[in-house]
Amino acid sequence: MMYTVVTGAAGFIGSNLVKALNARGETHILAVDDLTQGDKFRNLVGCEIADYLDKDEFLTQLVDGDFDDEIAAVLHQGAFSDTMATDGRAMVANNYRYSVRVLQHCQDNDIPFLYASSAAVYGAGPAFREERACEAPLNVYGYSKFLFDQHVRRVLPERTAQIAGFRYFNVYGPREGHKGRMASVVWHLFNQYRANGKVQLFEGSGGYAAGEQRRDFVSVEDVIKVNLDFLDHSERSGIWNLGTGRATTFNAVAAATINACRAAEGQPPLGFDDLHRAGAVEYIDFPPALLGKYQSFTEADLSRLRAAGYTAPMLPVEEGVARCVRGLLASAAGSA
């Protein structure tokens, strides 16, 4: 039986992919990750895998030919994803050079390769189309993802097997607690509200008023659906945006998160203004470390994704956040 390889398998999106593959009856999964941060193992406890390898050991065995004719597809989610990191050598080694080597093996052996890119390649925008003219990353993380996308573009015309890259916008959902400060804003707002009865957002930036910065927040449920849909359609190759196509303010995400928590307590929803007046939302100074490195607006242009054949609707933020909060509450109750 051939392996489906998931790199970054113990991470946020990787573990959700493994769980979704299990739901399809696929358990011959080779999970690849770096468990230096050991707590990530919890994301895989409820999953079924056939084997686990450290990311460096996997690459060594791959290059040595240990997996010849044993891999059906590679879902490459592993990355160094700290957008505030400054070690460019480590970032490029992990996100660019490593990916190039895995892709080369896949091309040499006719193996479909689906991978995680990022909306960070776009930088300050304002247009978010899969075109070189729109790409100007603001940090070395975004640059490392941009480098690999550029490599993929050079390989695509002579590809031997599927290459599908997805530029994830702001993904939120279950199994991201291990990410700490790099977890989604929904995760942070949920935990702030549960602990203090209020949430904190940044003051205005980039010409936007306090909390009115806008991002394309996409549920991990949709991210997984898109990945699996493309896995089932190996004729599709290219690079696509993966968001909802709709920018939402941080204020609106805060209101959705708080109201989902209130619903769980049997309380009625409140409008943002009422929540703000009640002190449930407060603003903090914009971090100096993020000046010039922060995307105050993102919104995925989904034209190419739709043209490629993915037609399913994306979860609206209100519904997606409500599902996420219910999952977080259930998880908290289960670990109590």
Please list the active-site residues.
Answer: 141, 179
Amino acid 319 reads E
| Best CA proximity match to 42, nearest among 78, 21, 15, 5 | 15
DSSP category for residue 297: B
Cβ-Cβ contacts under 8 Å for 225 (sequence gap 6 or more): 312
Distance CA 24, CA 43 (A): 18
Counting Cβ atoms within 10 Å, is residue 111 exposed (0-12), middle (13-18) or buried (19+)?
buried
Cα distance between residue 79 and residue 89, in whole Å? 13
φ, ψ of residue 128 in degrees (nearest 5): -125, 65
Amino acid at 8: G
Residue 133: exposure state from Cβ atoms within 10 A (0-12, 13-18, ≥19): exposed
Determine which helix (DSSP H) or strand (DSSP E) holds 148, and give its type and residue range: helix 140-155
> CB count, 10 Å around CB of 284?
10
Cα–Cα distances in angstroms (integers) from residue 267 to residues 107, 147, 261, 262, in the given order: 55, 48, 9, 5
